[in-house]
Structure 1
Amino acid sequence: MPIADRTDQQATGLDAAYASCRRIAAEHGRTYYLATSLLSAPRRRAVHALYAFARMVDDIVDHAGDPARVLDPRDGADVALPVGPAAISPAQHLDLVEKQLRLALEHGDIDTADLRRHQILTAAADTIRRYDIAHTHFWTFLDAMRMDVPGTATHRTRYATMTELREYMRGSAAAIGLQLLPVLGTVVPVAEAEPAAAALGEAFQLTNFLRDVAEDLDRGRVYLPTEELAAFGVDEAQLRACRAAGRTDPRVRRALAHLIAVNRDIYRRADPGIELLDPRVRPAIRTAATLYAEILGRIEAAEYQVFRTRATVSPGRRIIVAAKGFGTARLR
């Protein structure tokens, strides 16, 4: 094949890979997806790739028949995830996976799910290389994901204290904020922006836990710290009773109000970090932070009925906040 033709084919494959990630972000991460519309095209593609990668791993944990094998393989030869010793970077591992999947594609030995995973990994590998993202952030993320997988050495479904939960969120959320920093760019050395980026990831994650407490219960997980709940006279049996009744009782409401206050404090600690980012990306990140924090207000407005309805920000409100961010971006 002529060199020019080969290059064109590779570019087309990469474009298709990023397009697949964009569709995943649009389908599953509406707030994030809307915020990325304020980014430049290259940054937008990279954020979609990182989001799709995290989503793919999360889906494996929740739905795969044997996620422990996928996330903690014995030989690693046929695993479509960047797992392995820290001496191997995710980009290097993804190179090997990409070659294996390409061979499978050529022989027709791959299904739709494998093709989508191949596309996600292709875009993620390109993003990792392009922005020189530290591979340690991916190992930290995967370590946290193993904590959700039955049968792994670190598996757990309950967290006694906020300190324990934050250790989990260090990998499940803070690490993702750190992955994004090289993509977004900073006006200070990256290390100076990392604490705030990690805090924002943690704030987003805790908002998810407060919004999705009922769904997590159905999966046999309680992410809200048990000692924090106990301070308000709440235990797991009471949470399950609320789930069965579809109604939040007064003690659970008080516990949720307390944890929402804790969550808002994390947003406040993260907020100054937005000014440490490249000015061109600040409107997008502020839009995401504003909209995600507003989920807490929706929980309050619904009188904490998280067992009956899923708190969301309306499409109209999302558009208004994004439009404001777009206006700010145009002024920069």
Structure 2
Amino acid sequence: MTSTTQSDVAVADIRNRVSGSSFYTAMRLMPKAEREAMFAIYMFCRLVDDIADDGTRPRPDRAAALAEWRKDLDALYAGRPAGEAAFLQGPMRAFGLAQADFLAVIDGMEMDVAADIRAPDLATLDLYCDRVAVAVGRLSTRVFGMEEAPGNQLAHHLGRALQLTNILRDLDEDAGMGRLYLPRELLMQAGVETTEPHAVIGDARVDQACRKLAARSLDYFVAADRLMKSRPRGRLLAPRLMAAVYGALLRQMLVEGWAPPRRRARIGKPHLLYLVVRCSVFG
């Protein structure tokens, strides 16, 4: 009888959290090797994100934990025992995943650990999106078998589209952690001068700022769709499905608005299945 390790528990917990999500649905549509690589990338992201979001630990402790991940990644790419990062060895070798992209994700997590982000300027928000989403996109497009140039372009556009949609969807959850990712310039244009998260999301004028950010997200979706329709090499069903799901969430939010009280946008299973079929048949 084998014992259950802490690593086994972590894997089971993450699989349970991702099951039923649109991301899990997209992964299930992939061949086994690609599916396992994508789960490894997702697991890495969840583990470092959990460190950044762990409000029970002092910031220096969280920063130290992320620094340990950096050391483990250094060891992985140097061919030494890689500690917590050992599970990335197979995907890294099979798909040529770049260490710089994993490190960029950690850079993004460190932005959350250094201080609670509150109404960043647009340039800082774009940097954050590039680290926590676009870098993941670059890793993913390697798994999808895309060539570097179109893969990086798709990651640039779709990563930002997905992350901005997440920000617009998670206003209340982020405020509960003391965070506010809506950019300062758009809030000020809407007449909202405070950066206190609960005050901002409780102000009806937040809807104006959110709609302007949603317009930016829509532009990124359009650019990503245009690129995928150009038929670059690679398996694009998963990114097509993610774009369809998050695009549907964004359109739902645009209809309902962001003025309080809000309800979190969701895609029901019948709609998700429709999107799977549509992406599978029509591309």
- TM-score (norm: length of structure 1): 0.73
1:69 Cα deviation from its structure 2 partner: 1.3
CA RMSD of aligned residues (A): 3.0
- Mapped partners of 1:298, 1:94: distance in 2: 48
Q: AA paired with 2:24?
A: Y
Q: Is the aligned partner of 1:236 residue 2:194?
A: yes
Q: Tell me if 1:134 matches 2:98.
A: yes
Match for residue 23 of structure 1? Answer: 15
Map 1:278-297 to 2 at 5 A. Answer: 278-279=233-234, 281-297=235-251
2:26 matched residue in structure 1: 35
Deviation at 1:263, TM superposition (A): 0.9
8 A contact 2:108–2:131 mirrored in 1: yes
Q: Retained in 2: the 8 A contact 1:17–1:123?
A: no
Query: Match for residue 222 of structure 1?
Result: 180
Is the 8 Å Cα contact of residues 194 and 200 (structure 2) preserved in structure 1? Answer: no
2:163 is matched by which residue type in structure 1? Answer: Q
- Corresponding residue number in structure 2 for 1:84: 71
Deviations 1:18-59 (A, max 9, x none): 9748725634x7111112222112111111111111011111
Q: Which runs of 5+ in 1 are unaligned?
A: 1-8, 73-78, 98-117
Relative to 1, partners in 2 of residues 1:84 and 1:122: Cα closer, same or farther, differing over 3 Å? closer
**Matches of 1:42 and 1:328 in 2, distance apart?**
24
Q: Is the 8 A contact 2:241 2:275 kept in 1?
A: yes
- Alignment CA distance shift 1:225-1:136 (3 Å): same
Preserved contact between residue 67 and residue 149 of structure 1 (Cα < 8 Å): yes
The aligned residue for residue 52 of structure 2 is 61
Cα 1:256–1:222, aligned 2, differ >3 Å: closer, same or farther?
Answer: same
Normalising by the residue count of structure 2, what TM-score does the alignment of the two structures yield?
A: 0.84
Q: Report if the CA contact (8 A) 2:158-2:220 is conserved.
A: yes
Equivalent residue number for residue 65 of structure 2: 70
Shift of 1:292: 0.8
- Does structure 1 conserve the Cα–Cα contact (< 8 Å) formed by 2:167 and 2:182? yes
Q: Deviations over 1:168-199 (max 9, x none)?
A: 1111111000111211012xx41343122222
1:1-332 mapped onto 2 (5 Å cutoff): 20=12, 23-24=15-16, 26-27=18-19, 30-63=21-54, 65=57, 66-72=61-67, 79=68, 81=69, 83-84=70-71, 88=74, 90-92=76-78, 95-97=81-83, 121-150=85-114, 155=115, 157-186=117-146, 189-236=147-194, 240-241=198-199, 243=201, 249=204, 251-274=205-228, 275=230, 277-279=232-234, 281-305=235-259, 308-328=262-282
CA distance in 1, matches of 2:28, 2:206: 37
CA gap of 1:267–1:94, structure 2 versus 1, over 3 A, is: farther
In structure 2, relative to structure 1, the CA distance for the partners of 1:42 and 1:306 (3 Å cut) is: farther
**Letter paired with 2:32:** A
Q: Find the aligned partners of 1:307 and 1:204 in 2 and give their Cα distance.
A: 23
How many Å apart are 1:207 and its aligned residue? 0.7
Q: 1:178-231 CA deviation, whole Å, 9 max, x = no partner?
A: 111211012xx4134312222211111111111111211121111111111110
Aligned-residue identity in percent: 27
Number of matched pairs: 273
- Say if 1:234 and 1:252, in contact at 8 Å, map to a contact too: yes
* Residues 212, 306 of structure 1: 8 Å contact kept: no
